[in-house]
Structure 1
Amino acid sequence: MKIALVGYGKMGKIIDGIATQRGHEVVARLKETPTAENLNNPDVVIEFSLPEAAFKNIKACLENKVPVVCGTTGWLEKRKEIEDLAVQNDTAFLYGSNFSLGVNLFFALNEKLAGLMKNRDEYACQLEEIHHIHKKDAPSGTAISIAEGIIQHHPKFDAWKLEETQDNQLGIFAIREDEVPGTHSVFYRSEVDEIEIKHTAFNRNGFALGAVIAAEWIRDKKGNFGMKDVLGL
């Protein structure tokens, strides 16, 4: 199929290579705001840009009735507006805070563990995420998804916050160092032991492959979706 890449940084270039390997044609590689002309009539857009550009980019694509797979985090206060726009324009929008297959399995494991721990008051929960120093938003979108999964299944928590867990607010330590692609950990600590689940990305290839698989899946669909839909989780 024909894919337009909106945002052409490190992730965009890796997605370009994987999409080509899988037999797709990349018809646009944009660092600027997409238009009907520069999108070059794609079947799907994959959007990995910056938080401050994402909303405008996605809006332009949906208004041109092109389905969008978006992996940009840090803009989600406007997500509802985008999802409404996808429906209004009879096209599709798929957001993923993380497109890695391993991370999405981790999300499911995290929710299961939160349900098991909901009545274990002796354990305190804390999240930690580590990313490269170039990452613009904190906490990461992946860490927010993990926190939301815990909040959904653990009645003690009803919100998340940066830094340490306090009362009903689940804490997330956001660490920025070197060129770390992404490490996410969930800790349950008591006075006598600790349970930890952890996902470590070795490079960006898993994120890029997942984004291309999502683009293959969303073609010709209508509505709003996530990676749970793509992977049947």
Structure 2
Amino acid sequence: MKLALLGYGKMGKTIERLAKEMGHEIVYKKGSSLEEGTLTRAEAAIEFSIPEAAVTNIAHCLEKNIPVVSGTTGWLSEYDDMVQLCKKCNGSFIYASNFSIGVNLFFSINEYAAKIMAPWKEYSAGIEEIHHTQKLDAPSGTAITIAEGIIQHSEKKSWTMETPQDNEIKIEAVREGDVKGTHTVAYVSAIDTISLTHKAHTRDGFAKGAILAAQWLKNKKGVFTMKDVLGI
């Protein structure tokens, strides 16, 4: 498969390495100080850039009828605009806050846990996410997706990084070292704590999931999620 890489930081370089190992060809790559190849040769684009560039990158692909997979977080105030543009262009688009297969399984486990914990009011839910010091957004898109999964299946209405009200979920964002990504959901009562944790050991899981999504998106039209890709 011929792939374009929009964003050529740590994730872009990891995707490039793994894609080549899997037999794919990188026909275009673009970073802050790099542009090589021809975008229109691509059968799909994988977008891991920065929030300020994501919308332009996604729109450019949709307008050129190139299926695009985006894992950039921090731009979602304009997500609905990209959905509408995808429909207008009869394009193909997947956004995920996290493309790791393990994390997406974790999302489903989190939603199931929220359902069975909902009747037990003595437990309060909280989320902690830990990432490397170079991560630009806080909380992580993954943590927000986790919070939204709990909100969907409980009486909680929103999340906060401040002291939570009764209808809010507290998200704590920690930045340290070169942590690839650790997310913990904890249900705490006066008697005990129940916790679920996903810990990424390398960036390869994110990259493999993004490549899988790009392969899956080929020859499809519409807006999809990783639940569609994984059938969960």
Indicate whether the TM-score tops 0.5: yes
Secondary structure at the aligned position of 1:97 is classed as coil
The CA distance in 2 between the partners of 1:53 and 1:87, in whole Å, is 21
1:227 aligns to what?
226
3-state SS of the aligned residue for 2:125? strand
CA contact (8 A) 1:151 1:158 kept: yes
Aligned to 2:7: 7
In structure 2, C-alpha distance between the alignment counterparts of 1:210 and 1:182, rounded to whole Å = 15
Partner of 2:148: 148
Q: Return the alpha-carbon distance in structure 1 between the equivalents of residues 74 and 33 of structure 2.
A: 18
Q: How does 1:157-176 map to 2 (within 5 A)?
A: 157-176=156-175
Q: Percent identity?
A: 52
Number of residue pairs matched by the alignment? 231
The whole-number CA distance in structure 2 between the counterparts of 1:32 and 1:223 is 29
Shift of 1:38: 3.9
Q: Work out the CA distance in 1 between the residues paired with 2:34 and 2:158.
A: 35
Are 1:125 and 1:187, in contact at CA under 8 Å, matched by a contact in 2?
yes
Is the 1:126–1:164 contact (alpha carbons within 8 Å) kept by the matching residues of 2? no
Shift of 1:230: 0.3
SS at match of 2:41: coil
**CA spacing shift, 1:133–1:99, aligned 2, 3 Å:** same
1:68 matched to which residue of 2? 68
For residue 162 of structure 1, report the CA deviation from its aligned partner: 1.1
Q: Distance in 2 between matches of 1:123 and 1:164?
A: 16
Could you tell me which residue of structure 1 aligns to residue 53 of structure 2? Answer: 53
Deviations 1:153-195 (A, max 9, x none): 012x111111443211111000000100000000000011000
Q: Paired residue for 2:176?
A: 177
Distance (whole Å) between structure 2 residues aligned to residue 220 and residue 46 of structure 1 = 16
Q: Deviations over 1:80-102 (max 9, x none)?
A: 00011111111111001001111
Cα deviation, residue 63, structure 1: 0.8
5+ residue gaps, structure 2, are: none
Contact 1:164–1:173 at 8 Å: present in 2 too?
A: no
1:5-44 mapped onto 2 (5 Å cutoff): 5-31=5-31, 38-44=38-44
SS in 2 for 1:128: strand
Residue matched to 2:192: 193
3-state SS, counterpart of residue 49 of structure 1? coil
| Cα offsets for 1:49-102 (capped at 9, x unmatched) | 001110111111111111100000000000000011111111111001001111
AA aligned to 1:74 is G
One-letter amino acid of the counterpart of residue 90, structure 1: N
Contact 1:158/1:169 (8 A) holds in 2: yes
Contact 2:107 2:146 in 1 (8 A): yes
Task: Tell me the residue number matched to 1:214.
Answer: 213
Gaps of 5+ in 1: none
Decide whether aligned partners of structure 1 residues 46 and 34 sit closer, same or farther in structure 2, where only a CA change above 3 A counts: farther
Coordinate RMSD, CA, aligned:
1.6
